[in-house]
Structure 1
Amino acid sequence: MEFIILVIMMEEMIRQFLNFISVEKGLAPNTIESYHRDLQNYLRFLKSQNITDFKFTSKTTIISYLLLMQKSGKASSSISRACAAIKSFYHFLMRERYIDEDPTINLDTPKLEKKLPRVLTVEEVERLLDQPDIRDPLGFRDKTMLELLYSTGIRVSELISLTTEDINLDMGFLRCTGKGSKERIVPIGSFAVTYLKEYVNNVRRLLIKDKNTDILFVNHLGKALTRQGFWKIIKKYARMAGINKEITPHTLRHSFATHLIENGADLRAVQEMLGHADISTTQIYTHLTKTRIKEVYDKTHPRA
């Protein structure tokens, strides 16, 4: 019984931490959910070791947990994220003076393998964008969403959160809220503007059920689309287009950034449009373009 009570107290500390990063730090809901999941997994590990208080943990405890994740085949990115969540949590416990020493000081985060995102060629993007049947209201919605994603490079989470107030078709830009609740303005290309105008003025009213809703893109029930719903949409059109590459909800975002840089776009401008806090995140697309240049060279140069 005492063991259960102590574990409940540990869960309460995690709850207080999540409330802290939500209210005082203003972290995005997706980040908070990830931290919650990672800390619950860590707590399960502590329970399996009969550790009933965070005061009884040490650097060795945390390293043992991270090594267990590694042995169980967890991706480097998952281990790194769990490490970051645990570090933040112990910083919070120090702040609250619950613990006297922070066991995560000098704790090394596992090095991430740099995995280059998969992107589509310009020809593959055009085939993908040509698949929706624009004679059908849902098909027209899909066409508009795909055009908008490739035109702006916004995240799928940002796309499905757009409202009618977030787009300015006369000026050709949209406003979206990204990670860390940071707002940014992104230009919209002429093709996307053309479809957006038709969608907003004529098609959207055929799909919405609640005339007072300001959600821009709705599903067949007239409710907001989900990430999973959009993922199914893009997978369907990729199959129809005969694209055999692995498709993710961010495929058009990655393709947008790569094609811009390939055509000489300034890296800082691309960083701004993508909403990256650190330019090193954007630089991965320069690696992509270098890889593709090498592939073209190997295929075409007579002495490659």
Structure 2
Amino acid sequence: MILDQNSVTLFAEHLKSRGKQPATIESYCRDASGFVNYLRNHRLTVDQIEPGTLLAYQDHLRADLTERENSVRRTVIGIRQYFRFLTDKSLVKASPFDSVAIPQRDDRLRRGLEIEVIARLLEAASQSQPSWKGTRDAAIIALLAYEGIKANEIIALRWSDLMTDLATAYLHIGGSRARSIRLGPESHRLLAAYQRQYHTLNHPVLSQAKEKLMFISFKGRDASCPLPNMTRHGLKFIVYELGDKVGTKSLNTEQLRHFAVTHLIAQGMAPDDIMAHLGLRRLGNIAKHLASVDHARLANLV
């Protein structure tokens, strides 16, 4: 028997029934789906899968997809969960991967993005057409790079989560790390610009939507058919595409979140306040940023 995508669908339903967060379900199922495709491309049946198969797949990810070690590590964890599900449902006799060691976590702090890169990203985003897409993309970059909001948190934002007056703006972020944060002035300005453009859109898809999500997407090259929501994959593609435009290859949301830590430090925010702002429960990379901070470079971020 060769595994197919139907088993991934069952895996998703299983995770949902266990109350897993949508982002976790999407991540695990993406990992499982990628591995199923790998097995099919190599014509490997269930009986032929062995521990070495997962080790070979790890090498495939590192070589062909230029994945960072932590990404490979997360993928291995997702695949192991998938095979435990298959075992529990008697779709396979036993998981061949429980004996495979999970790759070590890479805790080295990568060199962060420069402020000039963020400026180029915002400029490239603002030039996107139509104009509502340009203001949307710029607002997304600001929330990632200046506020450190995660991709799955951004796509779940509703307009009712935004509280503003002339001088300040607060954003309520839901989910397992629910919190309310005060937006910086640039994030406030760019989000307000997008909000003005959003309210000019007059389309039944948006007006009839039960939930007014903040970030929408569209179909078609001319953006003639808006969609009332945005997927995590769609947001990450926007970031990747903008990075490509400004010469920062394979840009991802995690790099922008790391920049946000440096940015918030430069604004004089205390470590505990940064943790609360980002929805973190331990210092982690914040401490590394503080320990390795280049004060001359930091001064340029203020």
2:261 alignment counterpart: 257
1:302 alignment counterpart: none
What residue identity is the alignment partner of 1:149?
L
Task: List aligned pairs for 1:99-118, cutoff 5 A.
Answer: 107-114=100-107, 116-118=109-111
Task: List aligned pairs for 1:29-68, cutoff 5 A.
Answer: 29-41=25-37, 44=40, 48=44, 51=47, 61-62=50-51, 64-68=52-56
1:27 alignment counterpart: 21
Task: List aligned pairs for 1:77-92, cutoff 5 A.
Answer: 77-92=70-85
Change beyond 3 A, Cα 1:108–1:287: same
Matched, 1:216 2:210: no
1:300 alignment counterpart: none
Q: For the residues of structure 1 that align with 2:117 and 2:45, how far apart are their CA atoms?
A: 51
What residue identity is the alignment partner of 1:235?
G
Does the CA-based 8 Å contact 1:262-1:289 persist in structure 2? no
Change beyond 3 A, Cα 1:285–1:95: same
1:301 alignment counterpart: none
Does the CA-based 8 Å contact 2:157-2:214 persist in structure 1? yes
Gaps of 5+ in 1: 297-304
Does the CA-based 8 Å contact 1:173-1:188 persist in structure 2? yes
Q: For the residues of structure 1 that align with 2:296 and 2:26, how far apart are their CA atoms?
A: 37
3-state SS of 2:102 partner: coil
Q: For the residues of structure 1 that align with 2:141 and 2:61, how far apart are their CA atoms?
A: 35
Equivalent residue for 2:242, pick from 234, 251, 262: 234
Per-residue CA deviations over 1:52-76 (Å, capped at 9, x if unaligned) read: 7xxxx7xxx22x1133224446343
1:121 alignment counterpart: 114
Task: List aligned pairs for 1:1-304, cutoff 5 A.
Answer: 4=1, 7=2, 15-28=9-22, 29-41=25-37, 44=40, 48=44, 51=47, 61-62=50-51, 64-72=52-60, 74=62, 75=67, 76-92=69-85, 107-114=100-107, 116-122=109-115, 124-126=117-119, 128-129=121-122, 132=126, 136-170=131-165, 172-177=169-174, 183-200=178-195, 202-210=196-204, 211-213=207-209, 214-219=212-217, 220-221=223-224, 222-223=226-227, 224-225=229-230, 226-227=234-235, 230-231=238-239, 234-235=242-243, 239=246, 244-246=247-249, 248-250=251-253, 251-262=255-266, 265-276=269-280, 279=282, 283-293=284-294
Larger Rg: 1
Q: For the residues of structure 1 that align with 2:273 and 2:37, how far apart are their CA atoms?
A: 39
2:220 alignment counterpart: none
Q: For the residues of structure 2 that align with 1:247 and 1:79, how far apart are their CA atoms?
A: 16
Does the CA-based 8 Å contact 1:91-1:102 persist in structure 2? yes
Does the CA-based 8 Å contact 2:261-2:286 persist in structure 1? yes
Gaps of 5+ in 2: 218-222, 298-302
Change beyond 3 A, Cα 1:203–1:44: closer
Q: TM-score, length-normalised on structure 2?
A: 0.66
Q: For the residues of structure 2 that align with 1:199 and 1:143, how far apart are their CA atoms?
A: 8
Change beyond 3 A, Cα 1:39–1:184: farther
Q: For the residues of structure 1 that align with 2:242 and 2:170, how far apart are their CA atoms?
A: 23
Give the Å deviation of 1:164.
1.5
What residue identity is the alignment partner of 1:174?
L
Change beyond 3 A, Cα 1:90–1:260: same
Change beyond 3 A, Cα 1:88–1:169: same
Change beyond 3 A, Cα 1:22–1:191: same
Does the CA-based 8 Å contact 1:267-1:283 persist in structure 2? no
Percent of aligned positions that are identical: 20
Change beyond 3 A, Cα 1:212–1:120: same
3-state SS of 2:294 partner: helix
Q: Is 145-154 or 128-137 further displaced after alignment? A: 128-137
Aligned residues: 271
Change beyond 3 A, Cα 1:93–1:69: closer
Does the CA-based 8 Å contact 1:231-1:248 persist in structure 2? yes
Give the Å deviation of 1:51.
0.6
Does the CA-based 8 Å contact 1:45-1:65 persist in structure 2? no
3-state SS of 1:192 partner: helix
Change beyond 3 A, Cα 1:94–1:259: same
Per-residue CA deviations over 1:159-216 (Å, capped at 9, x if unaligned) read: 34432122222472223345xx65443331233324434543x322224523344232
Q: For the residues of structure 2 that align with 1:41 and 1:73, how far apart are their CA atoms?
A: 13
